[in-house]
Copies of this chain bind each other. A is one copy, B any other.
Amino acid sequence: MRILITNDDGFDSKGIAALMGLAQEFSDDIWVVAPDKTYSGMSHAITMHSPIFVEKMETSVAGLHSYVCAGTPVDCMKMALDEILKGEKQPDLVLSGINHGSNSNISVIYSGTMGAAMEGALYGIPSIGLSLTDHNLDADFDGAVMIARKVIQNVINMEHDDKIGLCINVNIPNINKENIKGIKYCRQTKGCWKEKFIARKDPNGNDYYWMSGKFYNDEPLAADTDEWALQNGYATIVPVKMDMTDYDRLAKLCANEENS
């Protein structure tokens, strides 16, 4: 089994190291193409107007192929699939993460971790984005690895048809692994991030700002939402789709038009 790994915290982060270690339990054919620095909040961004630098890294692990890419997480995926592995066997599984920080609720739409996982799924590869709800650079990934191991095994065991287009957003609560109650399938909580901007002036008198966000729920937290489950000690899986059409609204717009 060939596994492709990326993240958005950068090649040197503790989270991707944990994922690389775990992947070796499942495969001896692992390709890592990860960003040179943090690309948190880069969503599904691609680099269209500047060149992308890529460097192959030395590794001492047999079957582990590592590249550092000066691009977004989605750039890394495209670089891996359309250039580094061009004409070769495509990966059987994409893993993105393990992210330092939550990607539950609407954060899925801003997340570089999930941007990369979605891109893998768009190429037809079952893809798993993994996040731990702890931003700390030195976060403890033991519980996240325990959950990730189960999730990866479950995806590998799936029927072929169930793997087609599969993209899942896995979040693991930042609690002792003994206290994680299990894994719950959930829907994305409705909410949004609003910002507080910290205003400063540079030495030339120009205005600049630092963005600092806060999540606002747009609904009471029901037991089928990812936020509820995380707050209640569960790891969460939200299946994600890349067809963003709002079909309910589409039907209504079409009906209104016919009646007008």
Contacts and interface: CB of A to CB of B under 8 A. Distances in A.
Sorting the interface of chain A by its residue count into under 10, 10 to 19, 20 to 34 or 35 or more gives: 35 or more
B253 A246 contact: no
A79 interface: yes
B238 A52 contact: no
Interface in A80-114: 81-83, 106, 108-110
A243 interface: yes
Contacts of A40: 48-49
Contacts of A207: 53-55
A220 B162 CA distance: 22
Interface of A, secondary structure class, is: mixed
A252 to B, nearest CB: 7
A53 B211 contact: no
Given A54-B207, A187-B243, 11 more contacts: A38-B49, A42-B45, A43-B43, A43-B115, A53-B202, A53-B206, A75-B211, A78-B197, A82-B194, A83-B199, A238-B250
